[in-house]
Amino acid sequence: MWYQAAADFVVVVHLLFIGFVVGGVFLAWRWPRVVWVHLPAAIYGALVEFAGFTCPLTLLENDLRRHAGEAGYHGGFIDHYLVKVIYPPGLTRGMQIGLGLLVLLVAVVGYRGFLRRHPLAKARGGYARSSTAEEGRPGQ
């Protein structure tokens, strides 16, 4: 029973991670330091998609399911849970690469918006804001 619950928990974590890879940059618009977590996650997510290797969370879930007496599954997490929902029938490698490029496009748009909200000069000096500069008063 605990193995099955742990496997189900890994599924939830996996879904949250995929959501973060796709849209985490938009969290950085509000919380700029999220960028330092999102960038490596997005790079890792792109590598999984383009290189076609299996995510360790998929391996962990399958191992937990086998310990729970279940069969596990072949292929990756996305293939098992999401293909029928978000991918069209007859998915080809070219379509998979196209979807990966779409995710990268979302990231580019998101980081472009991030840089508009948080210019590099502000990023170099930290994210603290000067109340005098924001209110239009001369600095002291």
18 CB contacts (<8 Å, ≥6 apart)?
A: 45, 77, 78
Rounded distance, CA 96 to CA 50, Å?
8
Angle at 61 between CA 58 and CA 47, to 5 degrees: 15
Percent of the chain's residues with pLDDT above 90: 22
Express each pLDDT in 36-56 by its tens digit: 999 999 888 888 878 877 788
Tokens standing for residue 47? 């590598």
78 or 35, which is more confident: 35
Rounded distance, CA 13 to CA 80, Å?
15
Rounded distance, CA 76 to CA 11, Å?
12
63 CB contacts (<8 Å, ≥6 apart)?
A: 72
> Residues 82, 14: contact at Cβ < 8 Å?
no
77 CB contacts (<8 Å, ≥6 apart)?
A: 11, 14, 18, 55, 57, 58, 61
Q: What is the pLDDT of residue 7?
A: 83
pTM reported for the whole predicted model? 0.67
79 or 9, which is more confident: 9
Angle at 129 between CA 123 and CA 133, to 5 degrees: 115
Express each pLDDT in 62-110 by its tens digit: 899 888 887 766 666 666 666 555 455 676 778 777 877 888 899 899 9
